[in-house]
Amino acid sequence: MRFLALAAALCLLALFPPPAGRGAAGAPGVGLLRVDGVIGPANADYVVHGIARSARLGQQLVILKMDTPGGLDTAMREVIKAILTSPVPVVTWVAPGGARAASAGTYILYASHIAAMASGTNVGAATPVEVGIGKQSGADPSPMARKQVNDAAAYLRGLAQMRGRNADWAERAVREAVSLTAEEALKQKVIDIVAPDIPSLLAQLDGRPLTALGQARQLHTKGMAPDEYAPDWRTRLLAAITHPSVALILMMIGLYGLVFEFMNPGFVAPGVIGAICLLLALYALQLLPVNYAGLGLVLLGLMLMMAEAFLPSFGILGLGGIIAFVAGALMLIDTEVPGYGIPPALIGTLGVASALLLFGTARLALTARRRPVVSGAAALIGATARVESVARTGDREGWIRVDGELWQAASGQPLSPSQAVKIVGRKGLTLDVVPIDTPKED
């Protein structure tokens, strides 16, 4: 009974853990989130869930440790919305030394309740990257580019005014792509704190008053140990499948798997794997900035390459499919954000692999076509048999046995029992035969 009571108590502790990260005096804890790399759907989902978790635990602060070259506009705005609507203050800390908050990272830093950086880091270069088929380069930007820059400048200026930071420099970061070091950013009131590590950051935050969702509060963070929220399996899976290269590979596996299942009904495995991969690819693509013309070309290319295996086009369909696939893959992801392009080497590899698969399938089909027929009525032509019986000696009609079956046979020459004959034709249920040896005499 004692053992059962102890086991039950341990289960309850596992299901209902005590609040994490509280200080010696019982002050609410501090959460820690880490964002390394491009701001995309996975990072945005991780930050949103991390902030929500801190709110559920009643923590007094969330530290967002960030090092990013930028990211997707939709993912960035999702993170900023979570920060602006968070009941828990968010401190964005650009660290460690050598890290940066470029492009999308600058917007997130400006949106945070407290902006901090470590020495040796930089912030800025927030000019949006123009996307779309009508991209232009040169001294005279396109109207779409001007609209994007104006929108981004107003957005960042609004965030700066909300947090009482340098709005003029924010606009220059968008229009002129300027950058600042940590010390310069502190002097120009772009950030609030320069801290080399988390203990120093928490010590400088201690006693600082701030407001989150209209609620004034004072921080008590000195000497606290942050409670880090690590990415869960969902975030890791999302990070894997939302990589453009992985999404393209999943789409190819999915389509090929379904085609192989249709070619071999009942094999099951290709159909199951193909359906799962195709659904994962479609989910990933709807989270990414996809150029639908590129997506259409990729799908058209794959279908043409598959059609080559069924239609005698002498390679025209297959060659057109490879060209369409490569062109579509090059324009599939509609952004120039670092880390979100599909490497040309991967596209070339997939194109070559598809071509090898295509021509390998065609070669197997041609080899099978040249093989003689081994079953069915057509296999009777050219086969040999022996005469089982005739009505009377010298008749040109009788019965022969072929593969254990009795057939009626007719010949232009007299037939005799046990005579070997060769089948040369068929008329309905009667086989045309010619003798190939002389009849055996009793």
Question: CA-CA distance, 194 to 191, in Å (whole number)?
Answer: 8
Which is the catalytic residue, given 135, 147, 187, 440? 147
Which is the catalytic residue, given 54, 65, 86, 103? 103
Tokens read off for 207: 């006693």
Q: Note if 81 is an active site residue.
A: no
Q: Note if 440 is an active site residue.
A: no
Question: CA-CA distance, 145 to 194, in Å (whole number)?
Answer: 34
- Residue 179 near residue 188 (C-beta atoms within 8 A): no
Whole-angstrom CA distances from 322 to 64, 277, 328 are: 45, 21, 10
- The answer for residues whose C-beta is within 8 angstroms of residue 57's C-beta and 6 or more apart is 19, 20, 21, 29, 31, 227
Question: CA-CA distance, 427 to 286, in Å (whole number)?
Answer: 61
- The answer for residues whose C-beta is within 8 angstroms of residue 95's C-beta and 6 or more apart is 65, 66, 67, 117, 118, 121, 195, 197
The angle subtended at Cα 224 by Cα 222 and Cα 227, nearest 5°, is 145
Cβ neighbours, 10 Å, residue 275: 14
- Residue 225 near residue 234 (C-beta atoms within 8 A): no
Pairing type for strands 209-212 and 215-218 reads: antiparallel
> Which of 353, 355, 411 minimizes the C-alpha distance to 385?
411
Q: What is the CA radius of gyration of the chain?
A: 37
> Which of 328, 242, 247, 333 minimizes the C-alpha distance to 290?
333
Active site residues: 103, 147
